[in-house]
A and B are shown apart, each in its own frame.
Chain A
Amino acid sequence: MTVVLRFRGADVLPSRDAALERMGIPAGAELAEPVESSFARAAELLIESAAPAGVMEEISAAEFGEVYRGEGRNDPASPVADIFGRADHLALFAVTLGEGVSEALARCFAGEELAIAYLLDAMASVAADGIADLAERRFDGLVRGRGWNPADGAVLRYSPGYCGWDVTGQRKLFAHLDPARIGLSLTEGCLMRPLKSVSGVAIAGPREIHVFAPEYDACRSCRTRTCLGRHRALASRERS
């Protein structure tokens, strides 16, 4: 069943520290007054221009295997390939902040509001990840609501373009999910449009399936290493 996800405006605005960290600025840093004003304006623009929406559809492991295979360009070994076969439940998802954010960004650059544009871009990137996190949580809630409630269960998301899942995998993901209904399309180069969007698979299963050593081929060229933070977060959930 396909679920169309709606988000509140308040869901969009990232925390100040998350936005700063995205720009390589230490959390809690004091900003000069003109930067502070630009930061506030960028936050206003994000709230005004975002129309966040998403779509999610459960998928069997066998079907996902076909989506994941994509056009045969994935790394020979990847975390996703090793994880999804051990999953209890999977769902494809796509979320977007909408075209309005891209338009607001273009207006800022055209008007030479360069700092506001840069801050808005960073905030919007964090916001797009934020609504993807919300989609992940909704899937968690959905499957738990149906009785999936193992003591060690966890839901995490994975996206084409990362962790050895080639970005051309977007084509089959989009063909299956049809996110055009929320205004999302794919370019020839497999880029999502609007830009501030996230797609992927949410995987529910025992916590340990999500934990891997970052020693795959893709890990060598990876600059984000977000997996390490996610693994830490899983470990802290285990302790609590």
Chain B
Amino acid sequence: MPALTEVADAIIRGDHAGVAALTRQVIREGIPPKTILDDGLIAGMTVVGDRFRSHEIFLPDVLLAAKAMYAGMDELRPLLIREGVPPIGRVVIGTVRGDLHDIGKNLVGIMLKGAGFEVIDLGHDVAPEKMVRAAEEQGAAVIGMSALLTTTMPVMRETVELLRARKLDGAIRTVVGGAPVSEAFARDIGADAYGFDAGNAVDVVKALVGRA
């Protein structure tokens, strides 16, 4: 469908006004919302993600594309809700208690949204109880935790242990990341996965929800 290709191309260009207008146009043409999402918006972001991974473009280009995708989603969201189209997964993210660094966590959230996930961003300084409660209440499949300080990394373990204590560790998976965090640390605390950067975190979360 050429019109959907135009939507995807506008995302690749980071043309947010264009994406909004084209999304309205394809909605008017009667293309099903799920098709617009998959073959227009997500298709565009997939190309952007691939180009980023192959170092053809830089992260700011990806973020401009993400903003363009948000513009399309603003048009599409009411229809997706009305038709009961579920996101490919729901993810709660936050920077752990005692830590105020936002940028890495924000990038993960942006990338996840670009891949079609619904993201509940709890912000920074998030206590384990709040993280687990939000995931439970929102029906999230994954909790993503970020820490930028060695002093706050133990909060990740607390969160994993809280999930286990509540017997939620099978239903709600965990992924951790941040400058001082490593794969070995993730294994040591019993987290389900480790994401070494925002792009990798998307792949990891997709694998956790069986959409890799």
Q: Which residues of A contact B (CB under 8 A)?
A: 23-25, 29, 31-32, 34-35, 38-39, 105-106, 109, 112-115, 117-119, 121, 161, 166-168, 187-191, 193, 195, 221, 223
- A35–B52 CA distance with the chains assembled, in angstroms: 14
- A166–B99 CA distance with the chains assembled, in angstroms: 16
For A161, give its contact among B13, B101, B149, B182 (CB under 8 Å).
Answer: B149
Q: Which residues of B contact A (CB under 8 A)?
A: 13-14, 57-61, 63-64, 66-67, 70, 97-103, 106-107, 110, 149-152, 179-180, 182
For A118, give its contact among B13, B63, B151 (CB under 8 Å).
Answer: B63
- B64 close to A109 (CB less than 8 A): no
Residues from chain A with Cβ under 8 Å of B70 in the complex: 112
- A92–B182 CA distance with the chains assembled, in angstroms: 31
- B60 close to A118 (CB less than 8 A): yes
CB distance from B47 to the nearest CB of A (A): 15
Majority secondary structure of chain B interface residues (helix, strand, loop or mixed): loop
CB distance from B26 to the nearest CB of A (A): 22
- A31–B14 CA distance with the chains assembled, in angstroms: 13
- A23 close to B100 (CB less than 8 A): no
- A161–B101 CA distance with the chains assembled, in angstroms: 15
Residues from chain A with Cβ under 8 Å of B152 in the complex: 189, 191
Residues from chain B with Cβ under 8 Å of A168 in the complex: 151
Smallest Cβ-Cβ distance to A120: which chain B residue: B103
- A105–B104 CA distance with the chains assembled, in angstroms: 13
For B99, give its contact among A29, A31, A191 (CB under 8 Å).
Answer: A191
Taking A109-B102, A114-B67, A114-B110 as known contacts, 19 extra A-B pairs with beta carbons closer than 8 A to each other, sorted by chain A number, are A29-B58, A32-B61, A35-B61, A38-B64, A39-B60, A112-B70, A113-B67, A117-B63, A117-B103, A121-B103, A189-B98, A189-B99, A189-B152, A190-B151, A191-B98, A191-B152, A193-B100, A195-B101, A221-B182
Smallest Cβ-Cβ distance to B15: which chain A residue: A34
- A114 close to B151 (CB less than 8 A): no
Residues from chain B with Cβ under 8 Å of A188 in the complex: 98
- A190–B103 CA distance with the chains assembled, in angstroms: 18
